[in-house]
Amino acid sequence: MADTPATFLEGFHNLDEIKSLKYKRLGETDLFVPPLTFGGAHLSHGVMFDNQTGQPITGHENAVNTIREAIKRGINYFDVAPLYGAGKCEIVLGVALQPIPRSAYYIATKVGRNHNCQFDYSASSVLKTVEESLRRLRLSYIDVVHVHDIEFADFNTLLTETLPVLDKLRNDGIVKYIAINCYPIELLKETIEKSKVKIDIIQSYCRCTLFDNSLVDHIPYFKERKIGIINAASYGMGLLTKGKLPDWHPAKLETIEACAEATKICNDRGVDISRLAIDHAFRTEGIDTTLVGLKDVELLNENLHILRNGLDEKELEAQKEVSKVFEKLTVRHWEGIELEKYRRNKTEFENYLKGLAQ
């Protein structure tokens, strides 16, 4: 491809930064994205909304400025969902994008988990969810629609309702590409094998991390089928950060303790383990892009710096010590734990999700 992606606009973008980002094609789509893309799960944090109009009143300025700065510097793919902030993250993103030419960015949102944190993969729910997302985002079409966390769907409903109705929306030009995401990687593959609908992109989370790098083993499968690969949650949903681990985290004790030990090693050396975690994702061959929650311009700058320059010597030394900790791990994932909770008590689990989405 040329030095610049189709989203490049002369006089709007920083050309030097665009050329340094090394865009990749997402599978067989016409979307060319940089290695770093924008996760929007936190866009509504601290924002006050008008009760009547539903529009942000105050507190959204930082998010809006970060989104616009990211676009100018070459970040062209933004990921949100009705689940995030009970639909309010989509609203903030829609506000931020108003003065930006539509050709300068790609938008991904999701179906299957609605703004009330309930699971509904029926055709009628998909149609309603897409319609609501278009309204909140102020768009006439969406570039990518993900089926959100497919492990919680009835598999037959997924194959006979969810994916076919998205295919119809794709044929109608309302949706350009269809994606699926979930935690169990084998389920992504099974869905691809059994679906009569073409799946363009998969999104995997917490499977390209310092403690669990299992996504790498499956990259050839997706590449052979020309399916785009998006990586998310390289921090292990908080396991690989300096912050306090949330009480709701589903990881098993051995994994939590290993991540805590690795974090202490970094802290003792004056190193931020999250920088090691994101560098690992950026250096993993075969992944098309990694989503990162970019809460402000400072974090945007930091991630772009790591992407272009890698780690310093002190961080590289810490990385060697951390790798020794994770080599001893026998439990690297928490597959099935959340699904078991959901099957045991759906109402209780959806209430738990509402707490996470606020």
Counting Cα atoms < 13 Å in the Cβ hemisphere of 86 gives 11
The answer to whether the beta carbons of residues 152 and 184 sit under 8 Å apart is: no
Active-site annotation holder among 84, 121, 183, 235: 84
| 292 three-state secondary structure | strand
SS3 25: strand
| Residue 84 among the catalytic residues | yes
- Report the amino acid identity of residue 197: V
Could you write out the DSSP letters of every residue in 50-63?
-TTT--EEES-HHH
Sort 329 into a burial class: Cβ within 10 Å, 0-12 / 13-18 / 19+: middle
- Measured distance CA(70)–CA(43) in Å, rounded: 14
C-alpha separations of 201 from 28, 63, 164, 188, 252 in Å = 9, 27, 16, 10, 29
CA distance 34 to 40: 16
Element (H, E) at 15: helix 15-20
**Rounded Cα–Cα distance for residues 193 and 124 (Å):** 25
Q: What is the CA radius of gyration of the chain?
A: 20
**CA pair distance 104, 212, nearest whole angstrom:** 34
Cα 304 to Cα 30: distance, rounded to the nearest angstrom = 24
Return the H-helix or E-strand segment holding 340. helix 337-344
- Nearest Cα to 75, choosing from 300, 229, 274? 300
Q: Which residues contact 290 (CB under 8 A, 6 or more apart)?
A: 35, 36, 37, 208, 230, 231, 232, 234, 278, 281, 282
Residues designated catalytic: 84
